[in-house]
Structure formats: structure tokens, C-alpha cells
Amino acid sequence: EAVDLYLAGADPAHPLASPLFADFPNPPPVFIQVGRDEVLFSDAERMAAKLGGTLDVWENVPHVWQMFDGRLPEANAAMRRAARFVQTSFESASR
């Protein structure tokens, strides 16, 4: 039902409906964090594969657990991993 409401008759394979169907020529480094039990887990896997990105899979975390940074150990660790990815991406970028 939610999908039908969101699409309102639009093609579900249109890039504006799902970035999985968009073209991303020469994307920057991509880091995707996802919980293994997340309803969007397969989309995260597919998007990481499409972009040649890094998929960081977590066990037993709620949806958008990173927003609990400072209150949840897993969120703190996730934010540190994301920061490390950003830092190493800049270090390895050609200038």
C-alpha cells in the first residue's frame, strides 16, 4: 500500500522513484551502512554493488541507528567508521 501511495501510478523503475535505476557515471567513494534486518537491506546491497561502494553491515541495530550517536555504542562505532571512510577517501583522492 505504501509503495502504491508513494508512486501514485508512476513507473517503479523510474530513477526518480528509485535510485537503483539511475545512472551514476564515475561516482565518488560511497559508504553505505545498513542493519542486516533492515527492510531496505537488499536495496543497500544492490546500490553498493552498482556504485562499487563499501557496504558496512551491522547486526541487531534499529533503522537509522546512527542518529543515536552519543547514546548507543553501536551508533558511536558506526559514526567512527563513517568518519574513517571519509578521511581515507580524501587521503587517497588524486588532487
Q: What is the pLDDT along the chain (95 residues), one digit of tens a residue?
A: 998 999 999 999 999 999 999 999 999 999 999 999 999 999 999 999 999 999 999 999 999 999 999 999 999 999 999 999 999 998 876 65
pTM of the model: 0.85
9 located within any domain:
no
1 located within any domain:
no
* HEC letters along 10-38: CCCCCCCCCHHHCCCCCCCCCEEEEECCC
Q: What's the domain count of the chain?
A: 1
Tell me the residue range of the domain where 80 lies: 23-92
Contact 60, 84 (CB under 8 A): no
Question: How far is residue 24's CA from residue 6's CA, in Å, rounded to a whole number?
Answer: 23
34 located within any domain:
yes
82 located within any domain:
yes
16 located within any domain:
no
7 located within any domain:
no
Contact 35, 41 (CB under 8 A): yes
2 located within any domain:
no
How is residue 66 annotated by DSSP? Answer: G
Question: How far is residue 1's CA from residue 33's CA, in Å, rounded to a whole number?
Answer: 27
